Homo-oligomer: A and B are copies of this chain.
Amino acid sequence: MVQVAVMGHGVVGSGVVEVLMKHAQSIAKRAKEEICVKKILDLREFPDSPYADRFTKSFDDILSDPEIRVVAEVMGGLHPAYEYTKQLMEAGKSVVTSNKELVAQKGAELLAIAQKMNVNYLFEASVGGGIPIIRPISQCLAANDVQEIAGILNGTTNFILTKMIHEQMPFSEALALAQKLGYAERNPAADIEGQDACRKICILASLAFGRHVYPSQVHTEGITQITLADVDYAESWGGVIKLIGEVKMQESGKVQMIVCPMFVSRESQLATVDDVFNGIMVRGDATGDVVFYGKGAGKLPTASAVVADIIDCVKHFKARKYLFWEDGDPNYVEDYLDNSVSMYVRAAVGDHADAEEAIHRVFGKVDFLTRRDAGSEELAFVTLSMPERVIDEKLEELKKSGVTVAGKIRVGDF
């Protein structure tokens, strides 16, 4: 029998205990050992829990218990999760987590400690909830050079965008609905500003290319500026707007990375990833495009991924799983303004004919888009692909001709 501990008894933590109990028999069969929850760490009281006797408020009860060999850290946040994880691994225990913030900030350091101590640090649940993605990237694609990863990594924003696209619901109303349904938190900033998606693409990029990317290195834009007019223009262009986290390996050995809303072609498998679902496209040189789709969050999907990691730890007390990446480098991520991109622009203009002429003069060939209900002072177009810095210069130049940018969205090329 293997004793484990669960740190945090919120949504995911209580799910982990539930899954471990409910599936105890089949888990024992797969892990080849019975798995028993010995301690649950939470500062709150849960007197009515059937496991009330296992709760503790003291981290030391877990750290100093030699019987506990695997700990699930599902507290979230950087502190004290970071210090706890370090101490646990230094004490010879394996740790599994759903804590994307911690992995994105401290992954390289924690993986190095795991390697040194010959324990495991696993985090399947940190990206894509119940979608298997960390293992497939690290193992099944072992014989591939991954070239690019692009994903819809945040369910909350995808729910909001889906409501805007399919029901013409304005952003603020869709956000309020998401909050009402429990998909968005009362302070939704981490979701709608793109930070959550940024953490996840940092983890995937670090894993796929072997070098840590820190969230602060990645240009990140959220979805708060998206209007129903943009949604309509995307439709007339032939696609939908999705919040995308993307990383591409360059010939130079550096990566291009960005998190932002993008026009996604209806031809793309990511275009039909709706509601709270996530979809992640991994482009390998041998496999071509592989897409993983499923619920990216939620109690049971995420908990089942945490439990799968616990099982893996139990099966691999001797053989360490191969999860590792080097520390980061401040020059590893290209300045996003140097990336070539095709840009959708919605502009406020005076005279239409004059504006079109000016846009052609400055940008050369563009595709003008139309929508119903567009006022006479609105004009939208999509540029050819060019470095974003050049696009910004040209848009600046257009101001002189009375063409003012009201909104712009990058066009995805996957």
Contact = CB atoms under 8 A, between A and B. Distances in A.
A130 B293 contact: no
A304 B287 contact: yes
A142 B139 CA distance: 17
B286 A141 contact: no
Interface stretch (A22-30, A99-107, A243-251): A22-30
Interface residues of A, number: 51
Among A140, A145, A286, A319, the one with the most B-chain Cβ atoms within 10 Å of its Cβ is A286
A136 interface: yes
Among A20, A131, A143, A144, the one with the most B-chain Cβ atoms within 10 Å of its Cβ is A143
**Copies in the assembly, this chain:** 2
Interface stretch (A47-55, A309-317, A385-393, A398-406): A309-317
A142 B300 contact: no
Interface string A111-153: 0000000000000100001111001100111111100000000
Contact of A305 (B140, B272, B301): B140
A220 B129 CA distance: 35
Interface string A149-187: 000000000000000000000000000000000000000
19 contacts: A23-B143, A27-B143, A32-B322, A130-B287, A131-B287, A131-B290, A132-B132, A135-B135, A139-B308, A142-B308, A143-B304, A286-B300, A287-B305, A289-B293, A290-B293, A290-B294, A290-B295, A291-B292, A318-B318
